[in-house]
Amino acid sequence: MKTLIHPTSVIHPGAELHPTVEVGPYAVIGNHVKVGAGTIIGAHAILEGPTEIGAGNQIFPGVAIGLEPQDLKYDGSLSWVKIGNNNRIREYVTINRATGAGEATVIGDHNLLMAYTHVAHNCAIADSVVIANSVALAGHVQIESRATIGGVLGIHQFVHIGKLAMVGGMSRIDRDVPPYMLVEGSPARVRSLNLVGLKRAGVSELEQGLVLQTLKKAFRSLYRSNLTVSAALEQLELLPDNEYTQHLRHFLQLSQMEGRRGSIPGLRPRQN
């Protein structure tokens, strides 16, 4: 019978591992770590608690999950990392616990975090997100489902990245990235709709045409006119209603609220 736990690994008696979990050489799993069925933990990975990891995850060598946050305000309070199912967490990714008693850093399902990604305290990553190599998320960053983040970039604390957004590599992301948009540069600017992502979003061909037509009108009002954000949002109210325009409008409205960082602007329209 195959041994799933390598004899050189170190596992605290207080850790809870499903019998089907595989643990590689020299991995260290601490107290209050819970790991679900079929998860594979690679060599030299470090998992500290309190941490909950779901089923079917693949955790590659050198990953560090659940260590204390890199936050001078952290006072040692009990906080968490909570990870869902079927994620691929590549080599040397670091995922820190939250700052604040009872709070959590949360990662959903079916995400790919490529090598050397850093997920700081209190971040929330939804589902089916792709984060390329050497991306650093500061504290309290939120990323909605099916966003794609290019490599070698930093995301400022408290920034929100919208559903099906695409962020180009080596950008500087210091404000919110609206849903369905392609953002790139330093300073980052909204360049276009994320047409490739939208066409892969799983809507029917007929609905896809209607959605793209409406979002193109929204894009022109937001980023190819001289309208203020509030005036552009009023124009969005006049567009045919669907879940995509509703979500875009809601995201931008929240982004303008006090305490938020605002949204990344578009390129200035050319002057005649």
Q: Do 94 and 208 fall into the same domain?
A: no
Note whether 40 and 57 are within 8 A (CB). yes
Q: What is the pLDDT of residues 197-226, one digit of tens each?
A: 998 887 766 677 888 999 999 999 999 998
**271: which residues sit within 8 A by CB, 6+ positions away?**
none
Q: Do 14 and 135 fall into the same domain?
A: yes
Read off the amino acid at residue 105.
T
> How many whole angstroms separate alpha carbon 51 and alpha carbon 105?
9
> How many whole angstroms separate alpha carbon 63 and alpha carbon 117?
10
The domain of 78 spans 10-140
Which residue has tokens 């946050």? Answer: 69
| 93 in any annotated domain | yes
Long-range contacts of 196-204 (CB under 8 A, 24+ apart): 196/166, 197/146, 197/148, 197/164, 197/165, 197/166, 198/164, 201/146, 201/164
Domain count, the chain: 2
Confidence (pTM)? 0.96
Which band of pLDDT confidence, cut at 50, 70 and 90, is reported for residue 1? very low
Q: Do 232 and 136 fall into the same domain?
A: no
Q: What is the pLDDT of residues 82-113, one digit of tens each?
A: 999 999 999 999 999 999 999 999 999 999 99
Read off the amino acid at residue 174.
D
Is pLDDT of 2 > 90? no
Question: Both tokens of residue 62?
Answer: 């050198």
Chain centre to alpha carbon of residue 166: 12
> How many whole angstroms separate alpha carbon 8 and alpha carbon 258?
52
Phi then psi for residue 168, to 5 deg, are -70, 150
The 3-state DSSP class for residue 161 equals: strand
Mean pLDDT score of the chain, rounded to an integer?
Answer: 95
Which band of pLDDT confidence, cut at 50, 70 and 90, is reported for residue 270? low
CATH number, domain of 28, equals 2.160.10.10
CATH number, domain of 222, equals 1.20.1180
pLDDT of residue 209: 83
> How many whole angstroms separate alpha carbon 149 and alpha carbon 72?
27
